[in-house]
Amino acid sequence: MDKSLKQNFTVVLLGGGHTNTQVINTLHRNDFPDHTELILVSDGDKAFYSGMIPGFLARLYCESDLVVSLSQLCQSSGWEFIYASVNRIEANRRLIHFEDPNLRALKYDCLLANVGSKTFGSDLPGVKKYAVCTRPLSSLGSRLSELDELHFSKEQSSTSRELVIVGGGAAGCEMAMALQSRWNSRCCLSVTLIVRRLLPQRATRVSTRLRQILQSKGIKLIENSSVSSVNQNHIDLNDDSQIPFDVLIWATGAEAHSFISKNSDLSLSKDGWIEVFPTLQSISHPEVFAAGDCCTFPSMSSPPSKSGVFAVRQGPVLTKNLLAFLNKLPLQAYNPQSDFLSLLMTGDGKALGTKFGIAFYGRWVWKMKDWIDRSWMRTFHNRDSKDSFMDAESISSCKQSLSANTAERVLQIGNESNRNEGLEVYSPRDDEFSEQLQVLEKMSSSPQFAAEVIQHLNKSELSS
C-alpha cells in the first residue's frame, strides 16, 4: 500500500450490491494502512442475491439462503457500517449527503458506488399506490408476505384471484411463474403477463420456448402492449382495453435513483446513469468508481444490460482497481462477457437457460442453477470453505478430455415435437448436470470447440 497516503484517507462504499459486497468480503482492515477509514453506507442491512429471488418467492429457498448481513460482513472484515439513506452526491466537494438532517455529510477520498436501481416507470400515477415493484429487492419479500395474508390466506381458498405482472424481461417472466407456484394452491388463481416484447435481449428460440412454457402453465401472455394508467382494481393498456387485478406486480426494468440522476454533479448519461470508463472509474471524477446497475459505459458500443450477472463479474475488477488507485498503479479494464449463461427459474423444479444460441430446459438446468447460486452464497456464509459438490480442478480435468462428438451426445437434441423450436439440451439423467456443465465450461473457454459442438448439434437436428 502506498505509504504516502495522507492521514485519515477515507474509502466509502455506497450501497451493498453484488459488487461492493465482494470488495468487503475480499479486502479486510489489515489490507490497508492504519490511518485508512473504511466505510460502507447502505439504506438496509440485508443484501439480497438477485439470482435466488425467484426461488425465494416460489418458497424454494428461505431468506437466510440468499441474504448477506451487511453489518456482520463489515464487522468481520473491519469496515464501519453506516445505516442511512442518501439524498445527494456532491462529487465536486467529495461529500455524501443523507436524508436524515441530523446526520452530517460524509467526506470521502475514494467512493465506490454500487446502489442498484429502482423499477422503471414506478413514477407513473398509481404504480406506487396499487402495485408491488420488484425493486428494491429488500422490500419485495415483506410486501409479498403482506399479500399472503391479504389475498391468499386459508380462509380465502375458495376465492378467485387475478394476478397481473407487467414486464417482459427475465424478472417479469420469473415472477409470473414463481408467484403462480407460491399462490396457485391457495386459491383459484389466474395469471396474466403483459409485455411489450418477451425477453427482448435473449435469442428468439429462447423466447419461443418460454412462450410455450408459459402456455403450458396456463399463464396468459399479452404481447406488444404497454400500460397507460394504473387504477385501484384495473390497469388501462395502450389499446384502451382494461385488465382487472387483485395483485399487480411491476417488473418493468431499471431506472436510475433520483439521488444520482437529479442530485449529483457526476457525469451522467441522458438516463441518469453514472458514466464510467471500462476501469469502472468515473469519467468526470477519478476518485469515484461505480459498478452494477447504476453505471454505464459510454465508450462501449454494446454496454452490459442491467443484470446481476454483470455486477457479479465486476466485483474482482473493482476490488483490484481500488487497491491500484490507492497505490497509484495502472487500473484494470472490465470486459463484459458477450454471451453469458442465462438461467430462468420456471417455478416447478425446472429452469430454462441459454448460451451459444442453444436452449436448455429441464430439472437438470434447475439443479445447475441452484448449485451455481448456492456456491456464490457460500463465499459469504462460509468464507473458509471450498465447494464440495464439484470443484474447479475436477471440472478442468474433465474438460480437457471432451471431444465435440462426446459433447454432442451429452447435449442431446429434443424429441420430435421440439425439432422446429430450435436446439434443445437434455440430460440423460433428469436430475444431473455435471457433464453438461463441463461441456458448457469448455465451450466458453474454446470458441473452436463451441463451433464444433454447435455444428454437430445442427447436423443431428437435420438428420432427425
Q: Residue 413: is its pLDDT beyond 50?
A: no
* CA atoms within a 13 Å half-sphere pointing along the CA-CB vector of 353: 25
Q: Residue 404: is its pLDDT beyond 70?
A: no
The least confident of 320-324, 364-368, 378-382, 388-392 is 388-392
Under DSSP, the state recorded for 386 is -
Integer Cα distance of 178 and 114 in angstroms: 27
451 band by pLDDT with thresholds 50, 70 and 90: confident
Residues in the chain: 464
C-alpha cell of residue 434: 455435471
Q: Are 81 and 259 in contact (CB under 8 A)?
A: no
Instruction: Walk me through the domains of the chain, giving residue ranges and CATH numbers.
Output: 9-117+256-326 (3.50.50.60), 127-254 (3.50.50.60), 342-463 (no CATH)
**Cα dihedral value 85, 90, 91, 92, nearest 10:** -170
First to last CA, the chain: 62
Name 274's bridge partners: 268, 295
Residue 423 is predicted with a pLDDT of 40
Residue 420 is predicted with a pLDDT of 36
443 band by pLDDT with thresholds 50, 70 and 90: confident
C-alpha cell of residue 355: 448460451
pTM exceeding 0.75: yes
Residue 403 is predicted with a pLDDT of 53
**Which among 159, 162, 121, 141 has a CA at the least distance from the CA of 50?**
141
- Tens of pLDDT, residue by residue over 214-264, are 999 999 999 999 999 999 999 999 999 999 999 999 999 999 999 999 999
- Bigger pLDDT: 293 or 400? 293
186 band by pLDDT with thresholds 50, 70 and 90: confident
Residue 415 is predicted with a pLDDT of 27
The least confident of 286-295, 406-415, 447-456 is 406-415
Q: Residue 334: is its pLDDT beyond 50?
A: yes
Residue 412 is predicted with a pLDDT of 46
- Tens of pLDDT, residue by residue over 14-51, are 999 999 999 999 999 999 988 999 999 999 999 999 99
Q: Are strands 95-98 and 86-90 parallel, antiparallel or unpaired?
A: antiparallel
Residue 396 is predicted with a pLDDT of 40
